[in-house]
């Protein structure tokens, strides 16, 4: 009788870091995570069916955040990064109440970087209407240093332009100039890009802000916060691991891959489609 050897069980795939955003902007955070934490796998969901989030109510943002978190939990995410300033401001508190895995946003890391960078104690913040109206950055900065003055400006047209891939365009330049005018008159020396889409316009924003204004985006600081959280929660992947990136969208986006590859140098590969559903873990 021929003896057969028992098959070894296939090792389970490592649990990924789950990241979501309203569209392509959160890929700036993914790029920073990939650079800092190459051993970690990442599953990213861009809610391209419902972008932008900036004009929506808190109840709607909370619901969207719960639904996208449910999709990430279905992918066995071990930690969720809310790579969207609007959802960080309005959705993270509820997620921390309801989810059984760690959740981090981008507001606190961005505020810490701004306080560290300012020399004059005057910080500007640009973001979506919902982020600016929430005063989340003002509260976070005040908690770190009550002496810092914060000046804010909503910039609702920038996300649609970025989603269209209009990163180097005269129309985009003129809109940036219009939005920054009042902030620059206020004398800010530090400008927080309070939307994860905005780093894709970093060069254009810097041109209009001038060399004396330090731009702060939360991507790198969020990656550092995730690294610390993984260590604290003993969730870090083995150093010898090679992390992979998987991307899902809630609707097709013709500009998505082009922007990700050209502006961020990310090799996204095939994207998946995920239907949004009411799900939470």
Annotated catalytic residues are 84, 195
Residue that is written with structure tokens 């910039």 in the block: 155
| Residue 163, both tokens | 């989603």
Burial of 146 (0-12, 13-18, 19+ CB in 10 A): exposed
Residues near 103 by Cβ (< 8 Å), separated by ≥ 6?
69, 79, 80, 81, 82, 92, 95, 96
**Chain centroid to CA 68: how far?**
14
Looking only at the bridges linking them, the beta strands covering 103-104 and 42-46 are unpaired
Q: Is the bond preceding 97 in cis, omega lying within 30 degrees of 0?
A: no
> What distance in Å separates the CA atoms of residue 256 and residue 217, rounded to the nearest whole number?
20
DSSP 162-194: HHTT-SS-HHHHHHHHHHHHHHHHTT-SEEEEE
């Amino acid at each position: 009788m021929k003896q057969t050897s028992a098959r070894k069980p296939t090792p389970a795939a490592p649990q990924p870091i789950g990241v979501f955003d309203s569209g392509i902007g959160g890929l700036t955070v993914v790029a920073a995570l990939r650079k800092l934490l190459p051993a970690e796998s990442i599953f990213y969901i861009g809610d391209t069916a419902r972008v932008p989030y900036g004009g929506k109510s808190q109840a709607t943002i909370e619901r969207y955040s719960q639904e996208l978190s449910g999709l990430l939990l279905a992918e066995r995410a071990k930690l969720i990064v809310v790579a969207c300033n609007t959802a960080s401001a309005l959705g993270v508190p509820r997620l921390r109440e309801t989810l059984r895995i760690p959740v981090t946003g981008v507001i606190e890391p961005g505020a810490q970087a701004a306080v560290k960078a300012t020399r004059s104690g005057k910080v500007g913040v640009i973001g979506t209407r919902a982020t600016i109206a929430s005063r989340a950055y003002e509260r976070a900065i005040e908690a770190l240093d009550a002496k810092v003055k914060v000046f804010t400006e909503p910039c609702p047209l920038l996300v649609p332009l970025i989603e269209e891939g209009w990163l180097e365009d005269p129309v985009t330049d003129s809109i940036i100039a219009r939005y920054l005018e009042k902030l620059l008159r206020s004398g800010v020396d530090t400008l927080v890009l309070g939307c994860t889409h905005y780093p894709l316009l970093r060069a254009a924003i810097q041109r209009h802000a001038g060399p004396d204004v330090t731009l702060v985006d939360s991507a790198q600081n969020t990656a550092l916060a995730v690294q610390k959280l993984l260590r604290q929660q003993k969730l870090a992947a083995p150093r010898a691991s090679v992390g992979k990136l998987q991307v899902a969208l809630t609707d097709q986006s013709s500009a998505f891959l082009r922007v990700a590859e050209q502006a961020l140098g990310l090799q996204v590969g095939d994207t998946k489609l995920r239907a949004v559903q009411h799900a939470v873990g």
